[in-house]
């Protein structure tokens, strides 16, 4: 059994950013999709012309992506200019045209990485350092975030909904998906409960993604799309179930309680709220992914953090909820806490 030495671990971790930066640059220029659109074969000169980028920089990027085996490089004939192709095993994930593409997540994590690079400054000053947007611009970064969350949700939704079903929580008729964006969980709930109707409440960019996704589908007449900011606006009311998925980590305790108050008012008596997020241990050191996510909240938000179950329970009870339960334990962001409006 090979055990990594402390020196080897430090070397590996301190240079890990390099490969992620390569992927980020390629994703922002949409390198993989463009190559695939051209019969999966483009030279550096051709790609540079299409992307309007520097030839030297483009060539260095493509060669490094080849060295890391996302691309492969070959000459069609002796003396010809080499061409680059996307490796077969990555084609689906790196093609932005596919519904399951990972490109939005790579773009979003590039934005997160820029914030992480200023971690020491944030710790010193106590406030996030304002980093510039990607070369795509702030608006497109917001779109990347919406579809990045969809990319992850598509892979989590089935086991999460199954866990909710096992916990006896899929028993509602009118539900609201708060901050539901493109509606991955909304679709899953509508599918699991054929008589149910749902509402997605989100910012305009999220509602635009949902409208794009639902228009013309069999679910279109069973949903309501409502634009709003749950940080400032009241929620619609008349629901027996509220779904708060990967939201509360954006806020501090006081902001979370304000959101719970709004959810409380939006529910019928007897209605339930379900909160999906990391739930940390009492020392806030596990799970590891949650501790790392806490750092992301430090560098990206003014007050956001991950919570322990006891903190969530206390805050829910403070606004009137009862029967708070750790309904779905998990080491991931798929942990679920539920509570009831009396």
pLDDT band of 2, cuts 50, 70, 90: confident
pLDDT digits over 11-58, tens only?
999 999 999 999 999 999 999 999 999 999 999 999 999 999 999 999
pLDDT digits over 265-278, tens only?
999 999 999 999 99
Domain boundaries, the chain: 6-101, 155-340
pLDDT at 146: 87
pLDDT digits over 111-137, tens only?
999 999 999 999 999 999 999 999 999
pLDDT at 1: 65
Whole-model pTM above 0.85?
yes
Would the pLDDT of 151 be above 90? no
Q: Do domains 6-101 and 155-340 have the same CATH topology?
A: no
pLDDT band of 77, cuts 50, 70, 90: confident
Task: Check residues 147 and 29 and name the one with the higher pLDDT.
Answer: 29
Query: Span 80-98, mean pLDDT?
Result: 96
pLDDT digits over 185-239, tens only?
999 999 999 999 999 999 999 999 999 999 999 999 999 999 999 999 999 999 9
Report whether CATH 3.40.228.10 matches the domain 155-340. no
Question: What percent of the chain has pLDDT above 70?
Answer: 100
pLDDT at 152: 84
pLDDT at 303: 95
What Rg, from alpha-carbon coordinates, does the chain have?
23
Report whether CATH 1.10.10.10 matches the domain 6-101. yes
pLDDT at 341: 98
Query: Nearest Cα to 206, choosing from 163, 272, 148, 152?
Result: 148
Would the pLDDT of 308 be above 90? yes
Cα 92–chain centre separation: 19
pLDDT digits over 94-112, tens only?
999 998 899 999 999 999 9
Average pLDDT of the chain to the nearest whole number: 95
């Amino acid at each position: 059994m090979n055990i990594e030495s402390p020196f080897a671990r430090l070397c590996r971790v301190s240079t890990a950013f390099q490969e992620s930066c390569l992927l980020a640059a390629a994703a922002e220029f949409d390198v993989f999709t463009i190559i695939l659109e051209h019969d999966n074969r483009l030279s550096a000169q051709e790609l540079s012309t299409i992307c309007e980028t520097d030839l030297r920089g483009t060539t260095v990027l493509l060669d490094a992506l080849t060295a890391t085996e996302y691309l492969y490089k070959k000459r069609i004939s002796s003396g010809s200019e080499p061409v680059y192709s996307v490796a077969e095993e990555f084609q689906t994930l790196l093609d932005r045209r596919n519904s399951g593409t990972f490109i939005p997540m790579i773009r979003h994590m590039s934005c997160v990485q820029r914030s992480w690079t200023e971690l020491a400054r944030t710790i010193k000053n106590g406030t996030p350092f304002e980093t510039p947007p990607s070369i795509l611009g702030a608006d497109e970064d917001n779109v990347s975030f919406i579809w990045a969350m969809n990319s992850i949700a598509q892979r989590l939704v089935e086991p999460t909904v199954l866990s909710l079903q096992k916990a006896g929580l899929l028993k509602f008729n009118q539900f609201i998906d708060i901050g539901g964006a493109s509606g991955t969980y909304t679709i899953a709930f509508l599918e699991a409960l054929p008589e149910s109707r749902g509402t997605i409440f989100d910012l305009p960019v999220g509602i635009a993604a949902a409208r794009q996704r639902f228009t013309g589908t069999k679910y279109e007449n069973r949903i309501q799309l409502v634009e709003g900011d749950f940080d400032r606006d009241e929620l619609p009311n008349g629901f027996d179930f509220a779904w708060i998925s990967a939201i509360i980590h954006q806020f501090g305790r006081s902001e979370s309680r304000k959101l719970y108050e709004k959810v409380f008012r939006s529910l019928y008596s007897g209605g339930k709220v379900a909160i999906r997020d990391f739930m940390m241990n009492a020392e806030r050191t596990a799970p590891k992914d949650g501790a790392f996510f806490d750092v992301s909240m430090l560098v990206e938000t003014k007050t956001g953090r991950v919570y322990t179950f006891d903190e969530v329970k206390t805050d829910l009870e403070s606004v009137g909820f009862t029967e708070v339960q750790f309904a779905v334990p998990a080491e991931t962001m798929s942990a679920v806490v539920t509570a009831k409006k009396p």
